[in-house]
């Protein structure tokens, strides 16, 4: 390694250490900004981006699955034309079609045809796609011929398979290019970003992003705490919508994907100040590195086009992870309902027979990104003594709780109707438990007790969670209880996996026997 490479490696490690240190100090910060109401103009802008968009990663993944499935099906449909020699089976022919389809998808990935710029190009990459298809098909068929599984009698079927597969593949790619171009123009497929920090650095960043031929970033506005002298109200044609405190509220009412901090890495103190306010949001946070004089190896960056970005925080459970988690939720929720419906029916009858009022109780709680959701529970209190706000927590021996309610609260049966919230999409099976909006610990709101409390809302809340199976459930009569509960929730978010969800789900019935704090 020469002297220049040593210097580059040293700077890279120093950079990583500095970014890691900034993240750690932001998470451990002893102050948390309270979101401020946004101004009327910013609210109008926010309403334009309130609808969801399509993730490029999801679209590319769906295309891979589509091309695998269609080529496999075309291969199977060619078999009726295969005269055969008496030794072939349907399963053997299916294996051949599957091998062709798998190798095709892998080869197209290797040939860099599964990127948004490649998919947007209508004609330019079609010869490459055709060459990949031809190569894969010839390799597989040649292998089959050498093994003695293909004779001259099958040539007609293979020719039909090759021609039909090529026509379908090229036609689909041509139409997909039109679709992606249309989605990009209409804002359906884009990554929405807000720039944090104005002035000349923001202007330079915007100009660089606009020069990217395949840029999929939609800049929604600029937020900066500084006055107009240092941060004009209009930068490169984009308005300054408010302060960083207002940005927190802006992100919570819009569908924003990314925050880009347009500050030099040397401004560590100001970056830390910003991250103290922003890390609780469920978005990617990037530090623009296009103006840094130091240049590092490619693995140090993520990129928007060719514009380098340093990753500070990533949105948790994103893209295909969110799809996998949703499938997990639906499958195990339907399984739970199939097993537990007798318990739920018996509970409803018991509630109706022993006290006046409805079977179900509904309450507003904090959901994903601080959205207000309405959750279902079996009613456990007398109808005229319920507390929809959640301000007055249930305590041991609470006279508001009915005899049936006391049992179903201790056993957590009262939570079972939340399975319908899972099917609706408001909750996940596993996640931080949703708290009532006005929930308190000794007359103090949870957000005032725990710094970074709202970071637990970066994912959907759950019917059960890591904190609950570790004993942090029930009454919050001491600050440490909500602090530990939040710490376990944040650990879950940072270490999420489907296996982790499965572990929590499996342990939940056994840990419910610990009813020490459940009243």
> Which residue in 232, 247, 519, 252 sits closest to 368, CA to CA?
252
Distance CA(36)–CA(340), nearest Å, equals 44
Q: Which two tokens stand for residue 279?
A: 């890390």
pLDDT, tens only, 434-458: 887 777 766 777 766 777 788 888 8
Distance CA(246)–CA(261), nearest Å, equals 15
pLDDT, tens only, 145-156: 666 555 555 667
Distance CA(316)–CA(309), nearest Å, equals 18
Distance CA(46)–CA(28), nearest Å, equals 30
What predicted TM-score, i.e. pTM, was given to this entire model? Answer: 0.78
Lowest mean pLDDT among 30-39, 205-214, 326-335, 484-493: 30-39
Q: What burial class does residue 455 get, using C-beta atoms within 10 Å of its C-beta: 0-12 exposed, 13-18 middle, 19+ buried?
A: buried
Query: What phi, psi does 231 have (nearest 5°)?
Result: -140, 90
- Per the listing, tokens 């399509």 go with 54
Q: Are 106 and 121 in contact (CB under 8 A)?
A: no
* pLDDT band for position 501 (cuts 50, 70, 90): very high
DSSP state of 392: S
pLDDT, tens only, 90-147: 677 788 888 889 999 999 999 888 887 788 877 888 899 999 999 998 888 777 666 6
Residue 211 has pLDDT above 60, yes or no: yes
Distance CA(323)–CA(81), nearest Å, equals 38
Give the three-state DSSP class for 375.
Answer: strand
Helices 40-48 and 244-252: crossing angle, nearest 10°?
40
Q: Are 391 and 379 in contact (CB under 8 A)?
A: no
Q: Are 464 and 504 in contact (CB under 8 A)?
A: yes
Residue 26 has pLDDT above 60, yes or no: no
Lowest mean pLDDT among 27-41, 180-194, 269-283, 379-393: 27-41
Distance CA(255)–CA(258), nearest Å, equals 10
The pLDDT score that the predictor gives to residue 493 is 92
Q: Are 400 and 382 in contact (CB under 8 A)?
A: yes
Q: Which two tokens stand for residue 454?
A: 């709202």
Q: What is the mean pLDDT of residues 324-337?
A: 94
Distance CA(260)–CA(315), nearest Å, equals 13
**Angle 213-218-221 (CA atoms, 0-180°, nearest 5)?**
130
* pLDDT band for position 292 (cuts 50, 70, 90): low
Helix H or strand E segment including 311: strand 307-313
Distance CA(186)–CA(208), nearest Å, equals 22
Q: What burial class does residue 6 get, using C-beta atoms within 10 Å of its C-beta: 0-12 exposed, 13-18 middle, 19+ buried?
A: exposed
Q: What is the dihedral of CA 183, 255, 286, 113, to 10 degrees?
A: -20
Q: Which two tokens stand for residue 411?
A: 């056993």
Query: What phi, psi does 135 have (nearest 5°)?
Result: -65, -45
CA distances from 174 to 56, 119, 128, 302, 343 (A): 18, 9, 13, 29, 54
User: Whole-number mean pLDDT of the chain?
Assistant: 79
Taken in order of first residue, the domains within the chain and their CATH numbers are 3-52+190-315 (3.40.50.20), 56-186 (no CATH), 320-511 (no CATH)
Distance CA(333)–CA(468), nearest Å, equals 18
């Amino acid at each position: 390694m020469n002297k220049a490479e040593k210097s580059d490696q040293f700077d890279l490690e120093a950079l990583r250490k500095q970014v890691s240190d900034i993240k750690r100090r932001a998470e451990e910060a002893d102050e948390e900004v309270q979101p401020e109401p946004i101004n009327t103009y910013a609210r109008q802008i926010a309403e334009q981006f309130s609808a969801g968009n399509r993730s490029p990663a999801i679209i590319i993944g769906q295309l891979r699955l589509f091309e695998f499935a269609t080529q496999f099906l075309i291969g199977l449909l060619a078999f009726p034309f295969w005269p055969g020699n008496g030794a072939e089976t349907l399963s053997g022919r299916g294996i051949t079609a599957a091998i062709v389809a798998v190798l095709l998808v892998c080869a197209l990935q290797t040939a860099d045809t599964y990127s948004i710029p490649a998919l947007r190009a209508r004609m330019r990459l079609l010869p490459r796609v055709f060459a990949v298809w031809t190569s894969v098909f010839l390799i597989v068929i040649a292998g089959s011929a050498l093994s003695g599984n293909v004779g001259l009698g099958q040539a007609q079927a293979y020719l039909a398979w090759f021609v039909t597969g090529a026509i379908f593949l090229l036609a689909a790619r041509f139409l997909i290019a039109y679709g992606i171009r249309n989605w990009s123009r209409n804002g359906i497929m884009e990554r929405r970003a807000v720039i944090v920090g104005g002035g000349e650095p923001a202007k330079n960043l915007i100009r660089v992003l606009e020069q990217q031929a395949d840029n999929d970033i939609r800049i929604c506005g600029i937020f900066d705490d500084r006055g107009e002298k240092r941060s004009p109200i209009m930068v490169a044609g984009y308005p300054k919508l408010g302060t960083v405190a207002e940005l927190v509220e802006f992100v919570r009412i819009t569908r924003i994907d990314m925050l880009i901090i347009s500050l030099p890495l040397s401004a560590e103190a100001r970056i830390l100040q910003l991250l103290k306010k922003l890390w609780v949001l469920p978005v990617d946070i990037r530090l623009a590195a296009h103006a840094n004089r130091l240049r590092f190896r490619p693995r140090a960056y993520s990129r928007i086009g060719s514009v380098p970005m340093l990753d500070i925080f990533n949105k948790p459970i994103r893209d295909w992870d969110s799809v996998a988690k949703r499938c997990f939720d639906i499958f195990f929720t339907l399984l739970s309902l199939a097993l537990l419906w007798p318990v739920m029916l018996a509970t409803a009858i018991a509630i109706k027979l022993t006290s006046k009022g409805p079977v179900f109780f509904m309450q507003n709680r904090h959901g994903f990104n601080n959205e207000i959701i309405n959750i279902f529970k079996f009613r456990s209190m007398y109808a005229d003594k319920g507390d929809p706000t959640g301000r007055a927590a249930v305590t041991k021996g609470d006279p508001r709780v009915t005899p049936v309610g006391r049992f179903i609260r201790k056993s957590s049966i009262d939570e079972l109707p939340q399975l319908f919230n899972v099917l609706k999409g408001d909750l996940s099976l596993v996640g931080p438990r949703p708290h009532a909006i006005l929930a308190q610990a000794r007359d103090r709101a949870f957000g005032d007790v725990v710094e970074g409390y709202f970071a637990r809302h970066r994912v959907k809340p759950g019917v059960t969670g890591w904190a609950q199976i570790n004993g942090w459930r029930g009454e919050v009569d001491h600050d440490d209880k909500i602090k530990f509960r939040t710490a376990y929730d944040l650990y879950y978010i940072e270490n999420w996996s489907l296996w982790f969800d499965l572990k929590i789900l499996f342990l939940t019935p056994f840990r419910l026997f610990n009813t020490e704090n459940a009243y």
